[in-house]
Amino acid sequence: MEPFPDVGGPLVGIAHSRSTTQFLERHPESVDYVEIPYELLRHAPAALEGVGSKPVVLHCASLSMAGSVPASPALVEDVEAWVQRTRTPWLGEHLSFITAEREVDGGFADAYAPGEPWNIGYTVSPPLNERSIELVLDSLARARDVLSVPILLENPPIYFAMPGSTMSQAEFISEIAAQSDVLLLLDLAHFCITAHTMDYDPLVEVTRLPLHRVTEVHISGIDSGDEGHWDNHASRAPQVEFDLLATVLEHAPVRGITLEYNWSSRFPATVLLDEIQRARNVLERV
């Protein structure tokens, strides 16, 4: 695979799915790179062969950057091995926690992983407060001792007001940026979900983020119902995400725009091509 191009303007990529290889064979010039999850490569290394010569961006949901249980040294070293193998320009990781302390006493520990922390199974937003900021800064420092590329922190979706929070998500992210030189991955679907949950205008709130740190942008679908909004990587993104993209591109040094339509191998190629063109149309206008 080729290294990620060091060019001035943003490139457009897709998130890896089971149909990626076939899509790239039929439409090789449609995208500039493929984003692929570390967790997939860890369990199915051959998946990397399916991207051919396309540059790769490595994504991760295992380091639990905002958690109280640090990622193990072996895990971070394994991530670094895949950083080297994929030649990724950065590592995207969620501003969330994925693990929690395991209860020591009683018969509740999972037998298959004795002594390991609980794996929550989904990247969860931490309480938005000073203690969580300390945890994130500590995690960044530990990871930087091992990782050879920058970490991009990705905003998680907020589905309910997080207990213990003392600030908004924009304030939380801004404070982390003020206390470090970390770069950001702005997931626009997550951002819109959070805006709905917290009842604010996403087009206004996005300007309160430290946009000068945004290096990559995610775009995906959003579903809604009586119980709220949630992200859906198998449906088209709403127009508001492309409106937000235009605002972000006016203020941020974005290098990659990743379309995350990767939950269904039957996602129509014609629709994916339309979505790629929507992103490129915004780029041309801005």
In this structure, is residue 65 part of a structural domain? yes
Model confidence at 194: pLDDT above 60: yes
pLDDT single digits (tens) 5-26 = 987 789 999 999 999 999 999 9
The answer, yes or no, to whether residue 269 has pLDDT greater than 70, is yes
pLDDT cut 90: percent of the chain above it: 74
Confidence of residue 97 (pLDDT cuts 50, 70, 90): confident
Residue 218: inside a domain, yes or no?
Answer: yes
Residue 89 counted as domain residue: yes
pLDDT tens track for 32-66: 999 999 999 999 999 999 999 999 999 999 999 99
pLDDT in tens, 127-136: 999 999 999 9
Report how far residue 188's alpha carbon sits from residue 219's, in angstroms, rounded to the nearest whole number: 6
Average pLDDT over the chain reads: 89
- Tell me: pLDDT of 251 over 60: yes
**Which of left, alpha, beta for 87 (phi over 0: left; psi -120 to 50: alpha)?**
left
Q: How far apart are CA 154 and CA 123, in angstroms?
A: 11
| pLDDT over 70 at 119, yes or no | no
Residue 151 has pLDDT above 50, yes or no: yes
The single residue listed with the structure tokens 């997931």 is: 187
In a domain, 2, yes or no: no
**139 domain-assigned:** yes
| Nearest in space to 191 (alpha carbons), one of 166, 213, 208, 212 | 208
Q: At residue 82, does pLDDT exceed 50? A: yes
pLDDT of 202 above 80: yes
HSE-up of 185 (CA within 13 Å, CB side)?
27
Q: What is the mean pLDDT of residues 79-102?
A: 88
Q: What is the pTM of this model?
A: 0.91
DSSP string, 185-231: EEEHHHHHHHHHHHT--HHHHGGGS-GGGEEEEEE-EEEEETTEEEE
Asked if the model's pLDDT at residue 199 lies above 50, the reply is yes
Average pLDDT of the segment spanning 144-158: 96
**The domain that contains 192 carries what CATH number?**
3.20.20.150
pLDDT at 101: 54
Q: What is the model's pLDDT at position 262? A: 77
Residue 26 located in a structural domain: yes
Residue 107 belongs to domain spanning: 11-285
Which pLDDT value is given to residue 148?
98
Query: Is residue 264, in this structure, part of any structural domain at all?
Result: yes
Q: Provide the number of structural domains found in the chain.
A: 1
pLDDT at res. 27: 96
Task: State pLDDT tens for residues 65-75.
Answer: 998 888 899 99
pLDDT at position 105, please? 43
Structural domain includes residue 6: no
